[in-house]
Amino acid sequence: CSVQRRHQKIVEVAPAPLLTEETRKQICADAVALAKASNYENAGTCEFLVDEEGKHYFIEMNARLQVEHTVTEEITGIDIVQTQLRVAQGYSLPDLGLKQESIGMKGAAIQCRMTTEDPNLNFAPDTGRLELYQIGEGMGIRIDQSGYQGLVISPYYESLLAKITARGRNHKDACTKLHRALSESRVRGVKTKIEFVKAVLELPEFKILLLILVLLKRIPNYLK
């Protein structure tokens, strides 16, 4: 997790920037050991905290995919959703050509969540009809969405319209692509936090991956 507000994720990045390769390998090994010890099958998400000394601590395991699984898919090249369905069908990881030691990472990815919230009203949910709905596309941009022009946004369900994921050679490249896609997006009829996320991407701390939650305190007046 990178940038959050009230414990809700706003922007996700991969790979985790402050992990050493040794710590990364140990975390992965511990996650695999946990799954084996509990006879767990199929996709799941192990969560760890890493302290300032680089020591990691297990928090919990979610027996499901996380919303931000897209960044993992983009840097590993593995379709996790398809893989979990194949495993549920009875295929083994060797059947699917997957081995833990052969899973690597390439490049960097960033995901943001486009929700119908108004940053100028303390992120209060907004409702209405999507009179215009267009998400910026292009090379290295992935869009997972439920929004469409004419959709009526009610106050009774999740306010997420789309997850926009950018993939690049490095974090800076992915950051530039995501900012461009957001700049080319047009949503009318409801408020969104597109401009807020762009402000996050423009922060010097975010550009050099000093991912600290308090940096959001610098953005309250970003529209003024």
Which amino acids are annotated catalytic? 64
Question: DSSP per residue over the chain, as a string?
Answer: --EEETTEEEEEEES-TT--HHHHHHHHHHHHHHHHHTT--S--EEEEEE-TTS-EEEEEEESS--TTHHHHHHHH---HHHHHHHHHHT--TTTTT--GGG----SEEEEEEEESEEGGGTTEE--EE-SEEE----TTEEEEE---TTPEEPTTS--EEEEEEEEESSHHHHHHHHHHHHHT-EEESS--SHHHHHHHHHSHHHHTT---GGGGGG-TTTT-
Residue type, 45: T
Distance, in Å, from the CA atom of 132 to the CA atom of 124, rounded to the nearest integer, reads 21
